[in-house]
């Protein structure tokens, strides 16, 4: 079957088709006139992808659901069904397009190191835990550079009677007032910042008609960041000789850590809840990271940063904002 780049969402696959197309004509899936490649060009890759799954009656998802949720390889379900269907026809994998599947037990076992570590540091060992297996499954080395001059944002509610806070009031609290957070332990302040100004409104959970002071923070030097938000291209990793099961496990662990880091603080939380993510930050520091970044759970598409040394960024100006509308929705 001849296919075009627009049947795929993965940038690396799209580029591969543009670089290696064999003819121009009508795509066998979407019907567009485009540059085409034989779908068999990708057969080894998709065989490796199919090997990531096992039949699982307790799962609610098909393989295509999981690929769409985690990897966004295809432009739409029709493209996914055509390509995956063709590979399924060549070998008996023990499941079909509409069967419910999960990742293989080996992958799930590796992903579970995060849940195990959380349990261990809450219930068994606090400071010196067994991290050998965790290290193998999740590499917490910095993968991203936040360059000097980059601008990030931080908000505080402006106290009654004041127009706005001053630059020096926008940083994190001093050591003696630093309460524990998801990333920082009690007594060790970190600087929590957002990539976009708008994300700060959500992160401080601003209410209707709240007046906010928004601090613009400039990064002083190039910083090494552990990016829990990064999405690796499965195809690129395969081409580079990476092990897909290992990449899937690492990605799932990073997603889970990112989600735990971005859970809003709740007044009923005990400080025990924050220990695992605080530990992860300490671990990143040992790996020479200056900070971390992860997705905001409160603002879709928002990215949060935590800098371990609050002096790595300086507040250069403060602007006032007032919350005029609040958009409330229910989860569907």
* 7 touches Zn ion (CB under 5 A): yes
The window from 3-11, 80-88, 145-153, 316-324 that contacts Zn ion (CB under 5 A) reads 3-11
Are 72 and 79 in contact by the 8 Å Cβ rule? The answer is no
Number of residues that bind Zn ion (CB under 5 A): 6
4/49 with CB nearer Zn ion: 4
**What are 129's two structure tokens?**
């835990």
Three-state DSSP state, 69: helix
CB of 39 to Zn ion, least distance (A): 10
1/48 with CB nearer Zn ion: 1
Tokens 């009923």 sit on residue: 268
CB of 20 to Zn ion, least distance (A): 15
77/162 with CB nearer Zn ion: 77
* 73 touches Zn ion (CB under 5 A): no
CB of 27 to Zn ion, least distance (A): 3
Three-state DSSP state, 228: coil
**Beta strand ranges found along the chain (DSSP E):** 2-3, 23-26, 33-38, 53-55, 101-103, 144-146, 151-157, 191-194, 211-219, 223-227, 291-295, 303-307, 313-322
Helices (H), 217-274: 234-239, 244-261
81/218 with CB nearer Zn ion: 81
CB of 5 to Zn ion, least distance (A): 7
Phi, psi of 224 (to 5 degrees): -90, 125
Tokens 């026809």 sit on residue: 89
Binding to Zn ion (CB under 5 A): which residues in 13-52?
Answer: 27, 29-30
**Beta strand ranges found along 20-72 (DSSP E):** 23-26, 33-38, 53-55
46/192 with CB nearer Zn ion: 46
The window from 7-15, 51-59, 184-192, 257-265 that contacts Zn ion (CB under 5 A) reads 7-15
Task: Look at the chain and count its residues.
Answer: 332
CB of 15 to Zn ion, least distance (A): 15
| CB-facing half-sphere around the CA of 166: CA atoms within 13 A | 1
Are 113 and 134 in contact by the 8 Å Cβ rule? The answer is yes
Among 2, 4, 102, 228, binds Zn ion (CB under 5 A): 4
CB of 74 to Zn ion, least distance (A): 10
CB of 4 to Zn ion, least distance (A): 4
Helix, strand, coil: what percent of the chain each, to 5? 40, 20, 40
7/257 with CB nearer Zn ion: 7
* 280 touches Zn ion (CB under 5 A): no
Are 6 and 15 in contact by the 8 Å Cβ rule? The answer is no
7/315 with CB nearer Zn ion: 7
The window from 6-14, 110-118, 142-150, 247-255 that contacts Zn ion (CB under 5 A) reads 6-14
Binding to Zn ion (CB under 5 A): which residues in 300-319?
Answer: none
**Cβ-proximal residues to 79 (8 Å cutoff; 6+ apart), any chain:** 3, 7, 8, 29, 30
27/194 with CB nearer Zn ion: 27
CB of 19 to Zn ion, least distance (A): 17
Binding site for Zn ion (CB under 5 A): 4, 6-7, 27, 29-30
């Amino acid at each position: 079957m001849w296919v075009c780049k627009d049947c795929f969402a993965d940038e690396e696959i799209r580029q591969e088709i543009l670089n290696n197309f064999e003819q121009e004509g009508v795509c066998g899936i979407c019907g567009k006139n485009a540059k085409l490649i034989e779908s068999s060009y990708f057969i080894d890759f998709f065989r490796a992808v199919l090997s990531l799954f096992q039949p699982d009656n307790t799962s609610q998802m098909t393989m295509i659901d999981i690929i769409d949720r985690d990897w966004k390889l295809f432009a739409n379900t029709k493209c996914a069904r055509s390509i995956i269907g063709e590979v399924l026809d060549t070998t008996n994998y023990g499941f079909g397009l509409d069967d419910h599947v999960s990742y293989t037990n080996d992958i799930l076992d590796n992903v579970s190191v995060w849940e195990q570590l959380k349990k261990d540091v809450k219930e068994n060992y606090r400071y010196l835990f067994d991290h050998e297996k965790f290290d193998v499954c999740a590499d917490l080395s910095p993968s991203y550079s936040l360059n000097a001059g980059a601008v990030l944002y931080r908000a505080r509610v402006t106290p009654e009677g004041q127009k706005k806070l001053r630059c020096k009031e926008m940083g994190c609290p001093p050591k003696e007032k630093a309460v524990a957070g998801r990333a920082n332990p009690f007594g060790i302040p970190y600087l929590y910042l957002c990539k976009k100004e708008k994300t700060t409104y959500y992160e401080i959970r601003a209410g209707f008609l709240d007046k906010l002071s928004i601090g613009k923070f400039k990064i002083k030097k190039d910083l090494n960041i552990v990016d829990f938000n990064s999405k690796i291209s499965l195809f690129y990793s395969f081409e580079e000789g990476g092990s897909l099961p290992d990449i899937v496990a690492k990605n799932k662990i990073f997603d889970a850590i990112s989600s735990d880091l971005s859970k809003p603080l709740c007044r009923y939380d005990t400080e025990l809840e924050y220990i695992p993510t605080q530990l992860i930050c300490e671990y990143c520091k040992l790996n020479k990271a200056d900070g971390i970044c992860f997705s905001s759970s409160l603002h879709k598409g928002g990215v949060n940063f935590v800098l371990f040394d609050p002096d790595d960024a300086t507040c250069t100006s403060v602007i006032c904002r007032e919350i005029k509308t609040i958009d409330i929705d229910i989860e569907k």
